[in-house]
Amino acid sequence: MSLLRLEGIEAAYGAAQALFGVDLAVEEGEVLALMGRNGMGKSTTIRVICRIMKHSRGTVQFDGRDMARIPSHLAAYAGLGLVPEGRRVFARLTVRENLIAAARPGAWDLRKVTGLFPRLAERSSQLAGHLSGGEQQMLAIGRALMTNPRLMLLDEATEGLAPVVRQEIWAALDAVRRDTGLSLLVVDKSLAELGRIADRAVILERGRSVWHGAMADVPGDVANTYLGV
Amino acid sequence: MQREAVLNTLVFLALPAVAVIALVLDEPFAITLATRAAILALAAVGLNLALGLGGLVSLGHAVFFGLGGYAMGILASHAQSYAPLDLGLFVIEGTKSMPVIWLTAVFVSALAALLIGLLALRTAGVYFIMITLAFGQMFYYFNISWPAYGGEDGLSIYVRNSFPGLNTLDPIQFFGLVFAVLAVVLLIMGRIERSPFGLALGTARQNAARAETVGLSPFHLRLVAFVISGAVTGLAGALFADLNRFVSPTMFSWQMSGEFIVFIVLGGIGRLFGPVVGACLFVLLEHLLSGVSEFWLIYLGAILLFVVLFARGGVIGALAGRGAHHG
């Protein structure tokens, strides 16, 4: 049984339909890359999975549980950890407070998160809004880990960051995956980086999943047609 | 030690210092003023949890203040008239014991806050303000038209209620009792502010949708904060009624709720000692300016305007620096 399974998901922003039939599955311990050009429904899919947005048709199952009627805060309780697009840390709380506020019992605690991102330990008492973009991203990932998720969803986790910082974040995610077996669903524009970390990929085009398979097997014509590379 | 911590310590010591000096100078009225300031500070400390930490602008906190006051008034009036209160299912004798009255005030206020919060917290912004105001007005007009406990004229209690081991009629002893309650509540509020619950409440104030994505329920966090906040304000209401030995529907008025907000804004929103500074300043200005002019509230309005425009962190913010706190 898949850890997360989406079947025929349709969703809309008011009258504007954004998803027309998204199917995907994430297995336990797997890294799935959700790919597609801008505006193809990747972030909307993440929002539907995390219950920030309601879907109008189809099913979302997490760990065998239908998520349709679950409010977003209980989705996080069920084991979905979101690293939202644009980082979105709690700017007026300190780094430590951001982490503690989200904490739930489990393997990931303050010590382990600051071990993964030593910079967060250095900035512990600093307001999150005063951190650099990269540090805020590390904090957003750390905050998601503090909820001790079974599946972490990263929406454009390295967007707009310097190459060195991107490398640091990808290395940390790789270490998390390797050491803990945490499942990841990753949305990112960098095919090269996704290729290094992801096991499988799903490609979205105009709100539909049009291709899925092993990350290493993305055909050139598919990448060319749907990803513009 | 941070500047704000030093300032907080000074503020904390100022109230008993005023009371002790007044005792030495044999000025019992000044002790009563300090007691009044401490009680109003306690009420605003309660509101500060909802407003400062939770971002809930409640214009109905006088409901809890009034309920606390009437809990005292009703229990004490039945005790002093030796006429039991018949509630149908059971009969209450009434009491003159402060601890029992406090527990009743806290319980009744918390229950009211729970019921009001369950409805009001489904809204936000101006709708939340209007709903809390509407509840306040409901209680106010109900008490005006409730003749059993004095209606519009209020209810007098002839002798201040008792506390084991103290002569509560002695101003300095009653002040000491009120100050001890304020100190304990400030200690608890400080703990709450730094606890995971306080931090979670802060995240819900900053961005509710974002808080939900990390598994926090803003509605439940706010409800808990609103209930604790109401209970503390209710306790202050019981003490206020004991100070004056009188309760009246004005304790439920929207002006009372507005005054609590003024204390918090004056002192510094979201700062632990903000309401204490605000309430002390208010009582001081009320005492000094009301001697100058009967329109003293105009001067207070000008001061409040100045604080809002030029000292957004309140008096504490202006003295300790704006970035020192979550507010």
Q: Domains in chain A, ordered, with CATH?
A: 4-227 (3.40.50.300)
**B212 contacts A73? CB cut-off 8 A:** yes
Average pLDDT over residues B270-282: 94
- Provide the pLDDT for residue B91: 86
Of B203, B212, B218, the CB nearest to A93: B203
**A90 contacts B207? CB cut-off 8 A:** yes
Which residue in B has a C-alpha nearest to residue A50's C-alpha?
B213
Question: Alpha-carbon torsion A30, A31, A37, A40, what sign?
Answer: positive
User: Is the CB of residue B102 less than 8 Å from the CB of residue B238?
Assistant: yes
Average pLDDT over residues B262-274: 93
User: Is the CB of residue B192 less than 8 Å from the CB of residue B198?
Assistant: yes
CA distance A192 to chain B (A): 29
What is the Cα–Cα distance from B15 to B10, expressed in whole angstroms? Answer: 9
- Average pLDDT over chain B, rounded to whole? 92
CA distance A63 to chain B (A): 17
**A101 contacts B203? CB cut-off 8 A:** yes
Confidence of residue A1 (pLDDT cuts 50, 70, 90): confident
DSSP collapsed to 3 states, A105-153: CCCCCHHHHHHHCHHHHHCCCCEHHHCCHHHHHHHHHHHHHHCCCCEEE
Confidence of residue A43 (pLDDT cuts 50, 70, 90): very high
Comparing A175-189, B79-93, B174-188, which segment has the lowest mean pLDDT? B79-93
- Provide the pLDDT for residue B130: 96
Which residue in B has a C-alpha nearest to residue A100's C-alpha?
B196
**B212 contacts A72? CB cut-off 8 A:** yes
**A93 contacts B206? CB cut-off 8 A:** yes
Angle between helices B171-194 and B218-244 (to 10 degrees): 170
Q: Is A173 helix (H, G, I), strand (E, B) or coil?
A: helix
**A52 contacts B213? CB cut-off 8 A:** yes
Of B206, B212, B215, the CB nearest to A90: B206
Chain B contact for A85, CB < 8 A? Answer: no
Confidence of residue B323 (pLDDT cuts 50, 70, 90): low
- Provide the pLDDT for residue B35: 97
**CA–centroid distance for B206 within its chain:** 24
Give percent above pLDDT 90 in chain B: 72
Residue B37 has pLDDT above 90, yes or no: yes
End-to-end CA distance of chain B: 19
Phi and psi for B168 in degrees, rounded to 5?
-70, -10
- Average pLDDT over chain A, rounded to whole? 91
Average pLDDT over residues B304-310: 87
Q: Under an 8 Å CB criterion, which residues of B touch A?
A: 196, 199-200, 202-203, 206-207, 209-218, 323, 326
- Provide the pLDDT for residue B1: 52
**B217 contacts A73? CB cut-off 8 A:** yes
Residue A225 has pLDDT above 90, yes or no: no
Inter-CA distances, A41 with A4, A44, A155, B37, B159, Å: 18, 5, 12, 58, 72
Residues of A in contact with B203 (CB under 8 A): 90, 93, 98, 101-102
What is the Cα–Cα distance from A204 to A227, expressed in whole angstroms? Answer: 9
Average pLDDT over residues A47-65: 94
Residues of B in contact with A70 (CB under 8 A): none
- Provide the pLDDT for residue A69: 85
User: Is the CB of residue B155 less than 8 Å from the CB of residue B247?
Assistant: yes
Residues of A in contact with B206 (CB under 8 A): 90-93
Residue A96 has pLDDT above 70, yes or no: yes
For A38-47, letters b (16+ CB in 10 Å) and e give eebbbbbbbb
- Provide the pLDDT for residue A141: 95
Inter-CA distances, A215 with A28, A34, A199, A210, B182, Å: 17, 10, 6, 14, 63
Residue B324 has pLDDT above 80, yes or no: no
Pairing type for strands A31-35 and A183-187 reads parallel
Closest CA to A155 of A192, A188, A129, A201: A188
Who has greater pLDDT, B88 or B222?
A: B222
Which residue in A has a C-alpha nearest to residue B215's C-alpha?
A73
User: Is the CB of residue B292 less than 8 Å from the CB of residue B70?
Assistant: no
CA distance A46 to chain B (A): 11
Closest CA to A62 of A44, A50, A47, A73: A50
Chain B contact for A22, CB < 8 A? Answer: no
Pairing type for strands A200-205 and A57-62 reads unpaired
- Provide the pLDDT for residue A221: 81
Q: Write out pLDDT tens, residues B120-176.
A: 999 989 999 999 999 999 999 999 998 888 889 999 998 899 999 999 999 999 999
- Provide the pLDDT for residue B327: 41
Helices assigned H by DSSP within A154-208: 163-180, 191-197
Q: Write down the residue that tokens 């704000």 correspond to.
A: B4
CA distance A197 to chain B (A): 24
- Provide the pLDDT for residue B166: 95
- Residue at A23: amino acid letter: D
Residue A229 has pLDDT above 80, yes or no: no
Confidence of residue B326 (pLDDT cuts 50, 70, 90): very low
Q: What is the dihedral of CA B198, B203, B208, B212, to 10 degrees?
A: -90
Q: Residue B177: which H helix or E strand, with range?
A: helix B171-194
User: Is the CB of residue B247 less than 8 Å from the CB of residue B148?
Assistant: no
Q: Write out pLDDT tens, residues A167-197.
A: 999 999 999 998 899 999 999 888 888 888 9
Pairing type for strands A183-187 and A151-155 reads parallel
Chain B interface mutation, best of A47, A49, A72, A130, highest count of B Cβ atoms under 10 Å: A72
Inter-CA distances, A185 with A73, A125, A190, B180, B324, Å: 19, 31, 14, 54, 38
